[in-house]
């Protein structure tokens, strides 16, 4: 069985936790200084998770939640961020090289920020930050989103097991939260909220996804979602078929289950994009 750095199961868009306390851990190492090196082996990176297909994600930096509940974040092999390492099955929320996970014991340079820095830290909000000698941010992962709820644009994976970027993306535009197929010109297949004043803002909170005219401003529209129950976790993800799905961890079955399809395009699911080589079926399914 081939062991790779990361499992191609897709990225987390956002994760919320309700009433769940993380187990006490004897480690919390969120920062690294220059000249720190890691090898992609169990001997060097001892805290790791192995997925069902044999892929392994190892932690190089780990930020435990300071409130003792909610998501924790780890920066690991293949330049990836994992979340909720103490809850259920860890999910990947960001990767510097999303389409090319490295092999076991790899020593090649797979990614570089391209800037001289004094240190690197993974924050409690999941932002991987590189800073200079004055502690000023010179690079952060939030400026380079994949399909997670950071920045202003999410780009879905090409398929379930192919992490390269697809042509489907979700973005906060001046007037709305909108989903597109990247074309010339871009083809919009979904829009949520509309404001004549520029500066739309989207907020995912417990039980809702809301588009506002500005941060802290008036809501333009709200999508009601299942609230987070006690002792459970939710996350939302833009997926390769164009759907934005909400998942919840079910401890009884020990698995993540979809609990809501967040977007509700008009008039029905047949408006989801058709990509070259695929036939879009009613219900949003792609063969």
Query: Which long-range CB contacts under 8 A does 157-163 form with residues at least 24 apart?
Result: 157/8, 157/10, 157/11, 157/98, 157/239, 157/240, 158/240, 159/240, 160/8, 160/9, 160/10, 160/240, 161/8, 162/8, 162/99, 163/6, 163/8, 163/10, 163/11, 163/95, 163/98, 163/99, 163/101
Residue 15 has pLDDT above 70, yes or no: no
3-state SS class at 211 = strand
Residue 154 has pLDDT above 50, yes or no: yes
Chain segment 181-230, per-residue pLDDT in tens = 988 898 889 988 877 666 678 888 888 988 888 777 888 889 999 998 77
Position 260 scores a pLDDT of: 93
Confidence of residue 282 (pLDDT cuts 50, 70, 90): very low
Chain segment 67-106, per-residue pLDDT in tens = 433 344 444 544 444 444 444 566 666 777 666 666 676 6
Chain segment 249-271, per-residue pLDDT in tens = 777 777 788 999 998 877 777 88
Chain segment 132-147, per-residue pLDDT in tens = 888 899 888 777 766 5
Q: Closest Cα partner for 127 from 144, 142, 112?
A: 142
Chain segment 202-212, per-residue pLDDT in tens = 888 888 988 88
Position 280 scores a pLDDT of: 47
Token digits of residue 275? 């990509």
User: Which helix (H) or strand (E) segment is 154 a member of?
Assistant: strand 153-159
Domains of the chain in sequence order: 1-144 (no CATH), 145-286 (2.90.10)
What is the C-alpha to C-alpha distance for residues 92 and 9, in angstroms, rounded to an integer? Answer: 8
- Quote the percentage of the chain above a pLDDT of 90: 5
Token digits of residue 128? 């991987």
Q: What letter would DSSP give residue 214? A: S
Chain segment 19-71, per-residue pLDDT in tens = 333 333 445 777 777 777 777 777 777 777 776 666 777 777 776 654 433 34
Phi, psi of 270 (to 5 degrees): -70, -10
What is the C-alpha to C-alpha distance for residues 273 and 73, in angstroms, rounded to an integer? Answer: 33
Question: Do residues 233 and 88 lie in contact, with contact meaning Cβ atoms separated by under 8 Å?
Answer: yes
What is the C-alpha to C-alpha distance for residues 193 and 176, in angstroms, rounded to an integer? Answer: 5
Position 168 scores a pLDDT of: 92
Position 226 scores a pLDDT of: 92
């Amino acid at each position: 069985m081939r062991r790779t750095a990361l499992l191609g199961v897709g990225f987390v868009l956002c994760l919320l936790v309700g009433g769940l306390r993380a187990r006490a851990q004897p480690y919390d190492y969120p920062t690294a200084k220059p000249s720190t090196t890691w090898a992609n082996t169990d001997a060097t990176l001892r805290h790791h998770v192995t997925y069902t297909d044999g892929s392994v994600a190892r932690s190089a930096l780990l930020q435990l939640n300071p409130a003792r509940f909610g998501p924790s974040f780890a920066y690991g092999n293949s330049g990836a961020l994992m979340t909720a390492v103490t809850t259920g099955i860890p999910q990947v929320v960001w990767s510097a090289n999303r389409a090319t996970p490295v092999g076991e014991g790899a020593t090649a340079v797979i990614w570089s920020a391209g800037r001289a820095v004094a240190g690197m830290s993974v924050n409690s909000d999941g932002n991987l930050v590189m800073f200079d000698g004055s502690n000023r941010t010179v690079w952060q992962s939030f400026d380079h989103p994949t399909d997670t709820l950071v920045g202003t644009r999410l780009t879905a994976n090409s398929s379930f097991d192919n992490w390269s970027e697809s042509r489907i993306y979700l973005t906060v535009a001046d007037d709305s939260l909108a989903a597109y197929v990247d074309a010339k010109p871009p083809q919009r297949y979904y829009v949520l909220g509309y404001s004549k004043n520029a500066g739309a803002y989207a907020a995912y909170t417990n039980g809702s996804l809301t588009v506002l005219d500005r941060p802290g401003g008036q809501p333009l529209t709200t999508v009601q979602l299942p609230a987070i129950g006690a002792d459970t976790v939710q996350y939302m993800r833009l997926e390769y078929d164009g759907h934005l799905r909400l998942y919840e961890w079910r401890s009884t079955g020990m698995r993540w289950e979809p609990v809501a399809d967040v977007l509700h395009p008009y008039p029905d699911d047949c408006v989801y994009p058709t990509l070259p080589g695929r036939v879009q079926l009613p219900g949003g399914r792609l063969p």
